[in-house]
Amino acid sequence: MSARTLTFEIFRYDPFDPEDKPTTQQYQLEEAPGMTVFVALKLIRETQDPSLQFDFVCRAGICGSCAMVINGKPTLACRTLTSQYEGGTIKLMPLPGFELIGDLSVNTGKFMRSLSERVGAWLHREKEHNIDAMEQKMDPHLAESIYETDRCIECGCCVAGCATAQMRETFLGAVGFNKVARFALDDRDHRSVDDFYHIIGDEDGVFGCMTLLGCADNCPKDLNHQAQIGYLRRKLALHPRIL
């Protein structure tokens, strides 16, 4: 049985070229067993068009760099098999909501760094930590809950799949809520409910979420975003500012 021919319709645009305009370009490629969209893109760049821009690092679904919109769904190219598309036509677009570098490449790093600074994504302690002190014990269940939030690879798929984030650039989104929940859970972080209220207690925070759960539907790591949003809402529910 001969291998089928795949057709890729790929978004092309160089935002740094004032004369360039957004378009799509078709490429055809013979499918191989177990081929992923990432492997196909790599072959296209090596054998047909070296100017094609897309990102990758680990090729194992860990770094999140190869996130893009594949046939309308934000996901990771390295974990997406071409065999799942029966028609053989695969349309690739860059993630919306991020600064475009070129073609399928977007600047998620700039977005994630700004978000981390905005929510203070580090341990806030009342006094300087003594590096010579014995490591603080942690309840295993709490450690597991924190680990679940730390599984986020910051790929941006939740942002691309969130209707609120696409309508309002200032909305924190699921990745922002996940960062806040990680430190709100951690008993080594000395911030109060009032401190977290100032970060997420408005329409740009958890109370602006429409709970459409596009974040959960598109998360390649299957993080329980709904649980984190619910946890933060409950944490703030009795805050005196909203009573």
Provide the pLDDT for residue 27. 98
Given this model, what pLDDT does residue 67 score?
98
pLDDT digits (tens, 9 = 90+) for 136-194: 889 999 999 999 999 999 999 999 999 999 999 999 999 999 999 999 999 999 999 99
Q: Is the pLDDT of residue 70 over 80?
A: yes
The hierarchical CATH code for the domain 107-124+136-238 is 1.10.1060.10
Query: What confidence tens digit (pLDDT) does each residue in 128-146 have?
Result: 777 888 888 899 999 999 9
Which of the residue ranges 201-210, 214-223, 232-241 would you say has the lowest mean pLDDT? 232-241
Q: What is the mean pLDDT of residues 210-224?
A: 94
For the record, the structure tokens of 143 come out as 């450690």
Total-model pTM: 0.91
The distance between the two most distant Cα atoms of the chain, rounded to a whole number of Å, is: 69
- pLDDT at site 243: 47
> 5-105 — its CATH code?
3.10.20.30
Query: What is the rounded radius of gyration, in angstroms, for the C-alpha atoms of the chain?
Result: 21
pLDDT at 52 over 70: yes
Domain with CATH 3.10.20.30 in the chain: 5-105
Q: Is 66 in contact with 76 (CB distance < 8 Å)?
A: yes
Domain with CATH 1.10.1060.10 in the chain: 107-124+136-238
Tell me the three state secondary structure of residue 29.
Answer: strand
Say what the pLDDT of residue 242 is. 53
What percent of the chain shows pLDDT beyond 90? Answer: 88
Residue 83 reports pLDDT greater than 60: yes
Strand order in the sheet with 67-70: 23-30, 5-12, 89-93, 67-70, 73-76
Give the closest residue to 79 by CA, choosing from 219, 184, 237, 235: 219
